[in-house]
Amino acid sequence: MPHPPWASINPVMTQDLQNPPASALPASVDVVVVGAGVVGLAHAALAADRGLSVLVIDRDHRAVGASIRNFGHCCITAQTGGLYELAMAGRKHWLDFSARAGFWSTESGAVVVARTATELQVLRELAERREPGQIVLLTAAETLTRLGRGQDAPAATEASAPNESADVVGGAWLRDDLRVDPRTTVANLAAWLDTQQDIAVRWNTSALGFEAGTTRTAMVRTSRGVVEADQVFVCVGHDVDLLFPDVAEQHRIERCSLQMAAAGAPGGLELEPAVLTATSMLRYGAFVELPSAAALLAQVQGQDPELLAIGANVMFTQRPDGTLLLGDSHAYQKTADPFLAESTSDLLLDRIKGVLGVESLTVTERWQGIYASSDVGPILVANIRPGITAVSVTAGIGMTVSFGLAERNVNALP
């Protein structure tokens, strides 16, 4: 009988799997972490620091999720209540693991640029609520200097007289904010963790299901076999609905998709802090709860409604190589629309050029980022069954709160 035509061009591959490949998983560890984004790695790092054996698995060959697509901004100062506590608790861990694992970080703080008296008033109100020195109010000249626009600064007398129609009328420096490089941090942290005793990071290994264990409390079925553990943290970001649809439905989880761009630094600009603007103040909790927040919203609605229509948070940071990370817009759907709207990119770029006082920016990359979002609350920690906990940051602050949240969850282990 002749071979079917495909047999010669597509021979069936066979492989002897009697000897387990080098990538085989350990049969049993104290803690399994599913997902090697920043939330999963923070749980792995702090569990290992407690002396527990840890296995991290990620379905992809390297991290390409929300944790590498963001601004790398630990937006600590603008959080409020429990999120502020998590952000502050995580701050020391960011600096500690930056030193130990050797990834770049800077205690840069953030600058919030004010272009109207209302924006300045919001900044003043937050400064009054915080300990002296945490939020430093800036004159127009000081703000421009921190934006690398020192030559544009008005004379001191003008700076002290805010004018609604002026470019920059003042600002604030948020002392406690940190920055890391989103493109390299997760890869470096994962690689370093993998070199530590009692931690293994295994890529291209998907979690497929979760059950009770036979020798330990829980069992994870993966695409490379089963692993048993006393505790499993499932940190799969916005894909929590793919594994636990009922939990995601209860927490009303959606995907928030954001448009981002990278550009070369105009004129060799060197920018230390993260830069936030009025639309940032409309999004972060510490600003939103202030008495003048409503007036700020009304002002932006009146002056720049297009920004609200795309859910803009006009902000930017600079990577260590000088590249500017520019963003962002927000759209909420259960399944994200994959297409980027050029009009959204144009609008964001236009407003950022205004803040930087430049005529043009040379865009080198554009991308979509997605994070989990919920109107129920900004954090999901759900006990799925004994020893299996789903953890997802359901707001755009996962870099900021990851280590604080991990500390809380790991400390709660028996």
Ligand X SMILES: Cc1cc2nc3c(=O)[nH]c(=O)nc-3n(C[C@H](O)[C@H](O)[C@H](O)COP(=O)(O)OP(=O)(O)OC[C@H]3O[C@@H](n4cnc5c(N)ncnc54)[C@H](O)[C@@H]3O)c2cc1C
In the complex, the residues that contact ligand X under the rule CB under 6 A are 34-40, 57-60, 63, 65-67, 69-71, 73, 75, 206-207, 235-237, 239, 243, 258, 260, 327-328, 369-371, 392-393, 396-400
Q: How does DSSP classify residue 53?
A: -
213/398 with CB nearer ligand X: 398
Min dist CB 209 to ligand X, Å, is 10
Q: Which CB sits closer to ligand X, 153 or 312?
A: 312
Nearest distance from C-beta of residue 222 to ligand X, angstroms: 7
Residues whose CB is less than 8 angstroms from the CB of residue 117 and which lie 6 or more positions away in sequence, other chains included: 162, 164, 169
Could you give the C-alpha distances from 319 to 230, 400, 405, in angstroms and in order?
39, 17, 25
Say if CB 32 and CB 229 are below 8 A apart: yes
User: CB-wise, 159 or 274, nearer to ligand X?
Assistant: 274
Helices (H), 21-138: 38-49, 66-69, 81-101, 117-129
What is the H or E stretch that residue 403 is in?
Answer: helix 398-411
In the numeric block, which tokens belong to residue 118? Answer: 């209302």
CA dihedral 55, 56, 57, 58 (to 10 degrees): -170
Shortest separation between residue 127's beta carbon and ligand X, angstroms: 22
- Tell the smallest beta-carbon distance from residue 256 to ligand X (Å): 7
Helix (H, G, I), strand (E, B) or coil at 117: helix
Q: Residue 190 Cβ, how far from ligand X at the closest point, in Å?
A: 10
Q: Take residue 329 and report the two structure tokens written for it.
A: 């817009």
Q: How far is the CB of 154 from ligand X (least distance, A)?
A: 30
CB of 140 to ligand X, least distance (A): 25
**Nearer to ligand X among residue 356 and residue 370 (C-beta):** 370
Specify the residue, 116 or 373, whose C-beta has the smaller distance to ligand X: 373
* Cα angle for residues 260, 263, 267 (degrees, 5° grid): 150
* Contacts of residue 171, Cβ cutoff 8 Å, sequence gap at least 6: 111, 112, 113, 114, 123, 137, 138, 140, 142, 143, 146
Question: Judged by CB, which is closer to ligand X: 137, or 274?
Answer: 274
Give the residue closest to ligand X by C-beta.
398
Which residue, 135 or 207, has its beta carbon nearer to ligand X?
207
